[in-house]
Structure 1
């Protein structure tokens, strides 16, 4: 695929993203979380994450925020959940993608052996401090996610 024409690569990428969003939709309806120990579910979450990062880098704050919040809601890994909320809070605060990478992400603290290394989860401050610093946006994000919990017990 790497040496394929750009149109073919885009077609494969579109298929992967569409498949990931289909699975995400199913999981939201079923109130199911992504198991980060399951390779397929990790790949689905990663595809959604990469799409969210792309949206963020292209200044589509609304779409990026919504995807980071949904990932926070659907990932079953505490550190990754917190990282997704930090992503969403940064977007909600108006921080641009370049500032996020340059000022919030600790690019030197990435463990290449971590199976979740493709998700940004290393920051210049500990997660709990960042979540406290962004408490207003964290609360706003949690309020927006309540709609996904509404019919859970119905």
Structure 2
């Protein structure tokens, strides 16, 4: 069996079982094997599964657990989706997604970081300005998180804005 065919079977099996984490494990192989169109389909499937899991989580009135592999992978997929909107200049959509995500996890650091993302998008701070003036990408890289988790002093202004709007961070 060819490597591509074997990879596609693994992906199909992970999709059928709703295993987002397994799909992320296969991500590097997908990048090496697939053309751009197939790769877009791969990510669309991850997003579809994450949105299903989001709906299920909201219906169950529970928080996602960062220590649970599927919840972690779901939060990552939804975060990447929100960042995609933000980087495309869709600040309203991004802000709405960040707001939902900030309340979705039991991880306080993640929730607080997403509140900063949310208020930045809400305040119409461009994604590039967010990266340049608010986020601390080097510290985030050292922290090893999948999301922007470390921030510069400029973030304090956003926190003050949040407090003025009655948002608890």
Rounded to whole Å, the distance in 1 between the matches of 2:87 and 2:165 is 20
For the Cα contact (< 8 Å) 1:83–1:121, is it kept in 2? yes
1:146 alignment counterpart:
none
Report the number of matched residues.
139
2:74 alignment counterpart:
44
Please identify the structure whose Cα radius of gyration is greater: 2
Could you tell me how far 1:135 is from its partner in structure 2? 2.2
Q: Secondary structure of the equivalent of 2:111?
A: helix
For the Cα contact (< 8 Å) 2:98–2:117, is it kept in 1? yes
Rounded to whole Å, the distance in 2 between the matches of 1:28 and 1:74 is 8
1:132 alignment counterpart:
160
Could you tell me how far 1:29 is from its partner in structure 2? 1.2
Rounded to whole Å, the distance in 2 between the matches of 1:59 and 1:111 is 24
Question: How does 1:67-78 map onto structure 2 within 5 Å?
Answer: 67-78=97-108
TM-score (norm 1): 0.81
For the Cα contact (< 8 Å) 1:89–1:138, is it kept in 2? no
Rounded to whole Å, the distance in 2 between the matches of 1:45 and 1:78 is 14
1:120 alignment counterpart:
148
Aligned alpha-carbon RMSD (Å): 2.2
TM-score (norm 2): 0.75
For the Cα contact (< 8 Å) 2:82–2:97, is it kept in 1? yes
Matching of residue 63 in structure 1 with residue 93 in structure 2: yes
CA separation of 1:90/1:79 partners in 2, compared to 1, >3 Å: closer, same or farther? same
Rounded to whole Å, the distance in 1 between the matches of 2:56 and 2:143 is 31
After TM superposition, which residue ranges in structure 1, 4 or more long, deviate above 6 angstroms? 126-129
Could you tell me how far 1:98 is from its partner in structure 2? 0.3
Rounded to whole Å, the distance in 1 between the matches of 2:37 and 2:127 is 27
